[in-house]
Amino acid sequence: MKKNDEFNVKIEDMAVGGEGIGKVAGIALFIKDALIGDTVRAKVMKMKKQYGFARMMEVIEPSPWRVEPKCQFHRQCGGCQIQALSYEKQLEFKQNKVLGNLQRIGGFDVDKLPVEPIVGMDDPYHYRNKAQFPIGTDKEGHIVTGFYAGRTHQIIPNRDCALGVSVNEQILDIVIGIMEEKGITAYDEETGKGLVRHVLIRYGFTTKEIMVCIIINGKKLPYADVFVEALTKIEGMTSITLNHNLKQTNVIMGDEITLLWGQEYITDYIGDIKYQISPLSFYQVNPVQTKKLYSLALEYADLKGDETVWDLYCGIGTISLFLAQKAKKVYGVEIIPQAIENAKNNAVINGIENAEFFVGKAEDILPDFYEKEAKAGRKAYADVIVVDPPRKGCDSILLDTILKMQPERVVYVSCDSATLARDLKILCEKDYEITRVRAVDQFCHTTHTEAVCLLSNRKPDARVKISVETEELKKVKEEK
Ligand code: SAH
């Protein structure tokens, strides 16, 4: 088999990135947009020794799970990978992805794991509360916006993404319209010239509050008052800001924010807890599923009211405040200082007094705390530790400290099941076992999924001994 050869091939499996996998003469071909169950005509693009990559030229016989996608750009756009796959089959794919990683990377026997069925959405479209639209210029010199094509920074013009809220289009029409009319330039990534880079839109699903943040390569936005006047006509407009990003980088946001109108944040609810969200804070993008995810984390934490809980990688305190409703004390740790400011404020606006927050790396704060306590003759204590790290997972120093602290339960919330499996392996080789695990589909039509896992301490007496020791230590000290 060589480059440009064409074959008909039956797709028998799907890779973690959503590509269909078919075999020709015993060699696996990875074919983007081909779905499990399809027979497709494919053209070989690149060959390696054991496998190759091919382009889908035509669907010869469609898979029974192939459906009509809502978005006409689903193949070019880098946002969705599996929109043409029925939602039920998407859920099965994601569940298998999590289990596959636990087996391959974690070394777990998944047939013996207490796996609960993946939590999907009733309506898996228009679920995103956040979108970042890149602004560019097309060949005719018109301002365009939409989404990047897969693996490139070429903009596919589309203001009406099937995953986003409908007000996105209205906002983009206004911004682009004024840019065209007033001759305001779009940023050009190659030259580093031009002004408007991205438009960030956030929407509070419960409060219906809208945030627009225009990210510019400069200090000032000309005709800012014209933008404000037009945007404030939209019902629910709450926050209009500029973000200044003068660096020639593909990082979207800079650090500095200027308020143009209204306030710097919007408010939204998850369950009974309200959160203030600024342009720079991390906030889960799918609020409907986030409620289910956090409720599950809370259920796994199994709090009775007198527990000490650590919530590591806490962002704006989302999970921490959820837990604080049921725990004695919650400590949250997060690396971004603004997020911790939000977290503290979120505690205040909810009247929550039993949550405390620390800025820093989880892998610094918790081990330092452990060492300090040890020096003082005490043992750092937690009944439950919750972790919700970014895709790269937890640092091994942090996992070591968790093992030293011996909480009764660890609740691991993960957006990447590969690093989840790697970290669970470390914890389960020592004192923990997986007692519950469940995927939650936060990112319908993409190949990503969240998963929550409950780890229980196999040595339930370890903690009792510790608290007795602490009591005894106290007594010894008092006697002295
Ligand atoms: N639990 C929160 C945030 C989860 S996202 C929520 O559900 O909303 C992961 C968070 O970890 C981000 O806020 C990120 O800023 C933070 N983070 C990344 N590396 C970190 C580290 N080494 N230590 C602590 N926080 C970190």
Report which secondary-structure segment, H or E, holds 224. Answer: helix 224-231
67 has pLDDT over 90: yes
What is the rounded CA–CA span in Å between residue 51 and residue 47? Answer: 6
Atom of ligand 1 nearest to the CA of 339: 13
Mean pLDDT, residues 182-197: 96
Predicted confidence (pLDDT) per residue in 313-352, tens digit: 999 999 999 999 999 999 999 999 989 999 999 999 999 9
Confidence of residue 459 (pLDDT cuts 50, 70, 90): confident
- Residues 364 and 386: beta-carbon distance below 8 Å: no
- Using CB atoms within 10 Å of the CB of residue 218, give its burial: 0 to 12 exposed, 13 to 18 middle, 19+ buried: middle
Please provide the distance, in angstroms rounded to a whole number, between the alpha carbons at the two ends of the chain: 82
Atom of ligand 1 nearest to the CA of 320: 1
Atom of ligand 1 nearest to the CA of 333: 24
Ligand 1 center from residue 382 Cα (angstroms) = 20
22 has pLDDT over 80: yes
Report the pLDDT value the prediction gives residue 1, as an integer from 0 to 100. Answer: 85
Ligand 1 center from residue 313 Cα (angstroms) = 4
Ligand 1 center from residue 389 Cα (angstroms) = 5
What is the rounded CA–CA span in Å between residue 131 and residue 109? Answer: 39
Mean pLDDT, residues 126-143: 95
Atom of ligand 1 nearest to the CA of 282: 13
462 has pLDDT over 60: no
Mean pLDDT, residues 107-131: 97
463 has pLDDT over 70: no
Among 289, 334, 414, say which to mutate for ligand 1: greatest number of ligand atoms within 8 Å of CB: 334
Nearest CA to ligand 1 atom 16: 313
pTM for the whole structure: 0.90
Confidence of residue 150 (pLDDT cuts 50, 70, 90): confident
The DSSP letter of residue 111 is G
Confidence of residue 473 (pLDDT cuts 50, 70, 90): very low
Nearest CA to ligand 1 atom 3: 315
- Residues 453 and 423: beta-carbon distance below 8 Å: no
Nearest CA to ligand 1 atom 10: 313
Among 333, 335, 342, 369, say which to mutate for ligand 1: greatest number of ligand atoms within 8 Å of CB: 335
User: Ligand 1 — pocket residues by CB below 6 A?
Assistant: 282, 284, 313-315, 318-319, 333-336, 339, 361-363, 388-390
Backbone phi and psi for residue 388, each to the nearest 5 degrees, phi listed first: -140, 65
What is the rounded CA–CA span in Å between residue 300 and residue 438? Answer: 10
Residue predicted with more confidence, 77 or 435: 435
Atom of ligand 1 nearest to the CA of 312: 24
Domains defined along the chain, listed by start: 6-61 (2.40.50.140), 130-270 (2.40.50.1070), 286-479 (3.40.50.150)
Ligand 1 center from residue 334 Cα (angstroms) = 6
Nearest CA to ligand 1 atom 11: 313
Report the pLDDT value the prediction gives residue 461, as an integer from 0 to 100. Answer: 61
Give the residue numbers marked as catalytic.
415
166 has pLDDT over 50: yes
What is the rounded CA–CA span in Å between residue 42 and residue 339? Answer: 47
Nearest CA to ligand 1 atom 1: 314
14 has pLDDT over 90: yes
Nearest CA to ligand 1 atom 23: 361
Mean pLDDT, residues 435-454: 97
Predicted confidence (pLDDT) per residue in 363-405, tens digit: 999 999 999 999 999 999 999 999 999 999 999 999 999 999 9
Confidence of residue 33 (pLDDT cuts 50, 70, 90): very high
- Using CB atoms within 10 Å of the CB of residue 404, give its burial: 0 to 12 exposed, 13 to 18 middle, 19+ buried: middle
One-character DSSP codes across 286-346: -HHHHHHHHHHHHHHHT--SS-EEEEES-TTTHHHHHHHTTSSEEEEEES-HHHHHHHHHH
Ligand 1 center from residue 51 Cα (angstroms) = 36
- Which residue type is seen at 317? G
- Residues 34 and 8: beta-carbon distance below 8 Å: no
Report the pLDDT value the prediction gives residue 137, as an integer from 0 to 100. Answer: 95
Predicted confidence (pLDDT) per residue in 178-188, tens digit: 999 999 999 99
Ligand 1 center from residue 282 Cα (angstroms) = 8
Look over the chain and give the mean of its residue pLDDT values, rounded to a whole number: 94
7 has pLDDT over 60: yes
Among 282, 323, 452, say which to mutate for ligand 1: greatest number of ligand atoms within 8 Å of CB: 282
The DSSP letter of residue 120 is -
One-character DSSP codes across 123-166: S-SS--SEEEEEEEE-TTS-EEEEEEBTTS--EEE-S--TTS-T
Atom of ligand 1 nearest to the CA of 415: 5
Ligand 1 center from residue 161 Cα (angstroms) = 27
Give CA separation, 407 vs 94, 380, 399, 451, 457, in Å: 30, 10, 12, 20, 7
Ligand 1 center from residue 430 Cα (angstroms) = 25
Confidence of residue 479 (pLDDT cuts 50, 70, 90): very low
Nearest CA to ligand 1 atom 5: 390
Report the pLDDT value the prediction gives residue 173, as an integer from 0 to 100. Answer: 98
